[in-house]
Amino acid sequence: MPMMCAVTFSPRGRLYYADPGPYSPKVGDKVLIPTDAGPEVAECMWAPQWVSDDIGGLPVLAGMAQTADVEQHAASRRRRAQARVTAKRLIREHELPMKVVGVDHIPAENMFTIYFTADHRVDFRGLVRDLARTLAARIDLRQLSARDSARIQGGIGSCGRDLCCATFLTDFEPVSIRMAKDQDLPLNPMKISGACGRLMCCLRYEHPLYEQFKAEVPAVGARVSTPDGDGRVVSHDIPRDRVVVRLDAGGGRCACSRASVCGSRKEYEAAHPGPGTAPGGADALARQPGAAESPDARNPAPAPDNSGDAAGTVHPMVPGPAAPPLATPDQAVAHPAPAVAAPAAPPPDNARTRRRLRRQASRDTDNSQPAPEASPPGQHPGGR
């Protein structure tokens, strides 16, 4: 079985795994790690131990750090601090919207790499010339994103632990606001944003668990059957692997485990059909392949006209597939009696109604009298 140890280049920084090779460093010892710029001094955080998995491709320790290596590493740290102060001063003099977040120094090449953040592209050609002249070394300026800046600077997250990006994350996976909605988190930017101002990377850690849980349990609002009775799902308690159900009897709530909750209402009715009802309802019973179809079902008779019954309910006529033949004199066809309109209700007996009836009777009397004869011209109708 192979052996593996963990080292770090800065206190509370990212851990890097390496193959100890023939060396056996202890926790806190200084070791040399091969890098692209040559061996660098690092501190051992995990002592070498056997691992069951076959891990390949790990860098092998170049050896234990000697006194000269440690002194050179300390001098490099002092030069990095000097370069950081000089870069901030020159940025203020050039009035550039830049923020220095980290400085790296390669002693073998006498080169400084300065990392900075900015809202947009910055013309720093004059700044590079002044830095190279002041520090007497090669200068490389690199602009970082907000997430990379948080990774280099480090910090403490809202959970109270070191930032994930500064400790164990190797790459940044996309995080969307949809993940916060699926986990029922408050959509408050102050609560779901990390130190970099972007959505927290930990929103992606538990999102597959939430998706799997919601795909396997009844949705909110579905009818379910629980050991305490039937009810409706009102919420999901995913961390406890439970479903909260409002019971039909009494309106109380109960939290049931996922295994004790049935499927949706349709699945429940299909598994527990009522007496005389096939799974799926009456339509499913009529569509069963073994059910025989009667002639009356193929040619339904017209519904009787019950307009004159005591209830006064009119039943709609159900048309058949074809019109019935005309009746012959030999055939006795029973026709229902025509409906007789009910007499109008008498008018209410009050003074206004009586006056209206008297006026109407007077007009009827005047209309029934004959019209008077026409009188000769020049004679008054009432005179001689």
Domain limits of the chain?
3-65, 71-144, 177-211, 218-271
The full DSSP string for 194-226 is -TTSSBPGGGGTSHHHHHHHHHHSPPTT-EEEE
Can you give the pLDDT at residue 266? Answer: 45
Distance CA 84, CA 103 (A): 6
Distance CA 192, CA 194 (A): 7
Is the Cβ–Cβ distance between 314 and 307 less than 8 Å? yes
Other CB atoms within 10 A of residue 231 CB? 22
Can you give the pLDDT at residue 271? Answer: 61
Cα dihedral: 303, 307, 308, 313 (round 10): 100
Class of domain 71-144: alpha beta
Can you give the pLDDT at residue 364? Answer: 72
Tokens of 254: 């109960």
Describe the crossing of helices 125-135 and 67-94 by its angle, rounded to 10 degrees.
Answer: 140
Tokens of 310: 């005591």
pLDDT tens for the 384 residues of the chain, in order: 688 899 998 877 788 889 998 998 999 999 999 988 888 899 999 899 888 777 778 889 999 999 999 999 999 999 999 999 999 999 999 999 999 999 999 888 889 999 999 988 888 999 999 999 999 999 999 999 989 999 888 888 888 888 988 888 888 888 999 999 888 888 888 889 998 889 999 999 989 988 888 888 888 888 888 888 888 888 888 888 888 888 888 888 888 887 767 554 445 556 666 554 444 443 343 334 444 444 444 444 444 444 444 334 333 333 444 444 444 444 444 444 445 444 555 555 567 787 888 888 877 766 655 555 544 444 444 443
Is the Cβ–Cβ distance between 194 and 200 less than 8 Å? yes
Distance CA 21, CA 19 (A): 5
**Domain 218-271 falls in which CATH fold?**
SH3 type barrels. (2.30.30)
Can you give the pLDDT at residue 117? Answer: 93
Query: How remote is the C-alpha of 80 from its chain's centroid?
Result: 47
Can you give the pLDDT at residue 33? Answer: 92
Distance CA 193, CA 185 (A): 12
